């Protein structure tokens, strides 16, 4: 059954691949991004040519989010799926990131998810159904050195999604988290560098560790053809196609080894969550009502 899908950050990476895959599967997609008439004009035109409705959206701006969601509802006459994909990474020694750096990372990766979700949820509540997909990361489960603000933002997104899962379940709205590993996409090119380099000297040779560590990640990705970004798009499409009530809350997508370690961690966390909710008489809040679509 064809769905009306709203996706953020569709200009490249997972967002572009997911948009194209959804269109190929017969869904109606509102692909959103910044700068559709300037920097991202080529990306916007390519997605339009593939059949997407392209809408300007800055997830850091309340008015932009409200306008984009309203525009999307008019274009496709409703919304069934929201995919919060827009994000920015970071790299550097944690101490060298200023509060302003942190605010910039969180404004896109965390507050942006909340802005878009809040704008779309009234419609989903009214129709009594919907799917909220949140793109997290394996570093939203296990923090790695030199990605500090990004680690923390993805941990925050995980908590946000867990809360939405429970609070929306009785309304027929399902929440799912997708946790990709490191993939070779244009996301890498946009990593935020820490802005206060005045403290570098006190770290000695350690100051070179962020870049050398990242270079090793790039080498691992380059040597592993299985680490194909299309895998993430396929996982998202699979969630869209899975009937409500049968979707896994968390899906790890990784071929470099972290996925094998994090999947049992997620399974244990799911058992723990179920036990705690059960102890407080809230077990029913972890499942979407039967019959919701």
- Residue ranges per structural domain of the chain: 4-286
Helical H segments across the chain, by residue range? 13-24, 41-50, 62-76, 99-109, 111-127, 148-168, 209-222, 230-241, 258-279
Taking the CA of residue 130 as centre, how many other CA atoms within 13 Å lie in the half-sphere pointing to its CB? 26
pLDDT tens for 55-112 read: 999 999 999 999 999 999 999 999 999 999 999 999 999 999 999 999 999 999 999 9
CB-based burial label for 191 (10 Å; 0-12, 13-18, 19+): middle
The phi-psi region of residue 278 (left if phi > 0; otherwise alpha if psi is between -120 and 50; otherwise beta) is alpha
pLDDT, residue 288, reads 64
| Residue 150 a catalytic site member | yes
In three-state form (DSSP H/G/I as H, E/B as E, the rest C), the secondary structure along 130-197 is EEEEEECCHHHCCCCCCCHHHHHHHHHHHHHHHHHHHHHHHHCEEEEEEEECCCCCCCHHHCEECCCH
How many other CB atoms are there within 10 angstroms of residue 126's CB atom?
11
Mean pLDDT of 108-122: 98
Homologous superfamily of domain range 4-286 = NAD(P)-binding Rossmann-like Domain (3.40.50.720)
**Is the pLDDT at 181 greater than 60, yes or no?**
yes
Q: Could you give the percent of the chain with pLDDT greater than 70? A: 98
The two tokens of residue 188 are 């890498």
Q: Which of 18-27, 92-101, 230-239, 256-265 has the lowest mean pLDDT?
A: 256-265
Q: pLDDT digits over 212-234, tens only?
A: 887 887 777 777 888 899 999 99
220-to-181, 193, 232 alpha-carbon distances in Å: 12, 22, 18
Q: Considering 150, 164, 183, 203, which one is annotated as catalytic?
A: 150
């Amino acid at each position: 059954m064809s769905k009306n899908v709203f996706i953020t950050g569709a200009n490249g990476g997972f967002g572009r691949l997911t948009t194209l895959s959804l269109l190929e599967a017969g869904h109606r997609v509102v692909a959103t991004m910044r700068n559709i008439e300037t920097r991202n004009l080529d990306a916007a035109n390519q997605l339009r040519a593939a059949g997407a409705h392209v809408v300007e959206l800055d997830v850091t701006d309340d008015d932009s989010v409200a306008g984009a969601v309203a525009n999307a509802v008019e274009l496709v006459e409703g919304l069934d799926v929201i995919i919060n994909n827009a994000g920015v990474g970071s790299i550097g020694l944690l101490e060298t990131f200023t509060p302003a750096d942190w605010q910039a990372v969180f404004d896109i990766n965390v507050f942006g998810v909340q802005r878009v979700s809040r704008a779309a949820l009234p419609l989903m509540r009214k129709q009594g159904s919907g799917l909220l997909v949140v793109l997290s990361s394996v570093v939203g489960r296990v923090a790695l050195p030199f990605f500090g603000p990004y680690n923390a933002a993805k941990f925050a997104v995980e908590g946000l999604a867990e809360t939405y899962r429970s609070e929306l379940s009785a309304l027929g709205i399902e929440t799912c988290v997708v946790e990709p590993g490191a993939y070779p996409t244009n996301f890498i090119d946009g990593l935020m560098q820490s802005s206060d380099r005045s403290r570098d000297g006190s770290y000695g040779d350690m100051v070179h560790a962020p870049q050398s560590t990242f270079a090793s990640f790039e080498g691992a990705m380059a040597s592993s053809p299985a680490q194909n970004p299309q895998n993430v798009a396929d996982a998202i499409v699979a969630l869209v196609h899975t009937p409500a009530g049968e979707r896994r809350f968390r899906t790890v997508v990784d071929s470099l080894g972290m996925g094998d370690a994090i999947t049992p961690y997620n399974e244990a966390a799911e058992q723990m969550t179920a036990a705690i909710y059960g102890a407080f008489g809230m077990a029913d809040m972890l499942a979407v009502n039967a019959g919701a679509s």
